Structure 1
Amino acid sequence: MPDRQHTIDKQQARLAFSRAAPRYDQVAVLQREIGQRMLDRLELVRLQPEVILDIGAGTGVATAALADRYRKSRVLALDFAFPMLLQTRKRGNWLRKPRCICGDLEQLPLADQSVDLIYSNAAIQWSNDLDSAFGEFRRVLRPGGLLMFTTFGPDTLKELRAAWAAVDSGSHVSTFIDMHDVGDALLRAGLADPVMDVDRMTLTYERVTGLMRDLKILGAHNVNSDRQRGLTGKGRLQAMQEAYETFRRDRKLPASYEVVYGHAWAPEAGYRSNAPSVSIDRIGLDLNRAGRGA
């Protein structure tokens, strides 16, 4: 597993998302769009899951969509921030309240081979040990089960990172793992036929303070363990904002996101493969390969 430049303070991350829960949906535009694109990809899958696990369920937008799509399935929502799960419970109707689990994706509180489909939108970047996380995913997946996930790559928030770098050498922006390293971790976990691809999306703001406000509301601001404690001085904050202005185009400030999509299968009995990840051009073929939950 490649070393991250910075380690995530899990306690602070959990606290940040707990505080964010009541207002999260107000600003989670990008997360909802990415999640919907991943749901659209499930249209290609010939899979009738008995049990679905939504890892990093947040406020339960995808949990509800999965329950609506797979009406005969049991859908579980897992998040490490309990207040997020309270929002998920509010979203469910009185007939089908989602089953919620407060837990960490690196230590899933589920039995071996108990899940047919893992859906995880923008969650694995909060893991400090991707090998442990993917190992847990494989452990709970039944043979032939499917993992589908999204995360963010290193170019995410590159403008904000560069603007802070022009001011000091401190850690101000979360770091993200390269797509190829994520694919390698899937293989190390023994997951079969991994496919990785990337999409690049940009949000725009009038001022950088708008971006920083949204990140705080989302609970996605910097929680690196080596982040600077205390308040940032007005002088450095002003210098960062001035540095960010060099990215202004068409009177807007961009905030770039490198969105990584991935999927892999829990191997059937006797499966052996050391094959590399393959291109998204083959996603339709791979998701419909013979014998996959037809």
Structure 2
Amino acid sequence: MNPDTYAVHRHLAHTMNERLALLKHPPKQIILAGADGDCGRSLLAARFPHARFREYDPRPEFLHDAAQARNHGLLAKLTGKTVAQTCQAVHQTLGLPADMLWANLSLHTAADPVAVFDNWANALQTGGLLFFSHLGIDSLQDVRALLTENGCPCPAPTLRDMHDLGDMMFHHGFCDPVTDTEKLVLTYQSRTALWQDWQTLGLWQALQCPESEQERARALLDQAWDTGALRRLNLETVFGHAVKKAVLADNEREIRFVRPTQHG
């Protein structure tokens, strides 16, 4: 694995990790919903050395790269520090509930983000924490315009506004959702490096350009590279976190007691 293959994932993982500094109770069970070259797990393991991890991804090569990056030896196996991996889509069941779910650029691998948030909520214990990164609605606008103008549709339904993502979390199993965005501009000196990032970031999946059109779409982007029109990728990165809300039975209601304010 080229050490730069997951450079963007590594950058986003560090940003997400910085937001964990205020956590008072370290999680014991962490779900990695999407493999990122072990960028996220390595940071989480350093912060939460007693946590156990389970990793899920629909892309076998991503799971392989993460396992290779970990390169666990016999000592790690004896101390129980191996990471169980499962190859499956992000909207499928993720096993027993965990304390935290970490998803670094995996949400756009599914066609329906709402189904993913429902699944992630089911995968967390009440009060469990969700942390994720995603590509926002302003990502690749110049590329999308070029493809659309040349008859290659790319609806990109998973590239959502951060406020829409916050609403999805609130209505699908989470409370106290927080989202914010950053602009990320990737500049390239070679076509090979550009296509490597394009592949690793899953941009065809994000754009949802039909597979039958991808060869022509790539030819259009190659042509744009040749003319100097495509030397950078403009991405909007979205960061979100929320808490798994309590689920009450139909005949139950939450009751809260508020201490009266004393006057005088």
Tell me which interval the TM-score lies in, with the shorter structure as reference length.
0.7 to 0.9
Rounded to whole Å, the distance in 2 between the matches of 1:196 and 1:230 is 32
5+ residue gaps, structure 1, are 1-21, 248-252, 273-294
Could you report, residue by residue, the CA deviation over 1:118-170 in whole angstroms, capped at 9, with x for unpaired residues? 1111110112121211111111211111001010012112222233344x121
Taking the TM superposition and a 5 Å limit, the aligned residue runs for 1:20-39 are 22-23=1-2, 25-39=3-17
1:155 aligns with 2:138: yes
1:266 is aligned with what amino acid? K
**RCO higher in structure (CA 8 A, sep ≥6):** 1
1:105 aligns with 2:87: no
Q: How many residues align?
A: 240
Q: 1:34 to 1:109 in 2, by over 3 A?
A: closer
What secondary structure is seen at the aligned counterpart in 1 of 2:198? helix
Pairing partner for 1:59 from 27, 37, 47: 37
Q: 1:173 to 1:42 in 2, by over 3 A?
A: same
Could you report, residue by residue, the CA deviation over 1:41-82 in whole angstroms, capped at 9, with x for unpaired residues? 111222321101111023222122222221111111211122
Structure-2 residue corresponding to 1:192: 175
* 8 Å CA contact retained: 1:76, 1:98: yes
Taking the TM superposition and a 5 Å limit, the aligned residue runs for 1:195-210 are 195-206=178-189, 210=193
The Cα of 1:208 is off from its aligned counterpart by 6.0
Rounded to whole Å, the distance in 2 between the matches of 1:180 and 1:138 is 18
* 8 Å CA contact retained: 1:92, 1:98: no
Structure-2 residue corresponding to 1:169: 151
Rounded to whole Å, the distance in 2 between the matches of 1:126 and 1:234 is 19
* 8 Å CA contact retained: 1:57, 1:77: yes
User: How high is the sequence identity, in percent, across the aligned residues?
Assistant: 23
Rounded to whole Å, the distance in 1 between the matches of 2:218 and 2:59 is 32
Rounded to whole Å, the distance in 1 between the matches of 2:134 and 2:219 is 33
1:257 aligns with 2:235: yes
TM-score where L is the length of structure 2: 0.79
5+ residue gaps, structure 2, are 255-264
The Cα of 1:222 is off from its aligned counterpart by 1.6
* 8 Å CA contact retained: 1:146, 1:265: yes
Taking the TM superposition and a 5 Å limit, the aligned residue runs for 1:1-294 are 22-23=1-2, 25-90=3-68, 91-94=70-73, 95=76, 96-111=81-96, 114-166=97-149, 168-171=150-153, 174=156, 176-206=159-189, 210-216=193-199, 218=200, 220-223=202-205, 224=208, 226-229=210-213, 231-232=215-216, 236=220, 240-241=224-225, 245=229, 253-268=231-246
TM-score where L is the length of structure 1: 0.72
Rounded to whole Å, the distance in 2 between the matches of 1:173 and 1:29 is 26
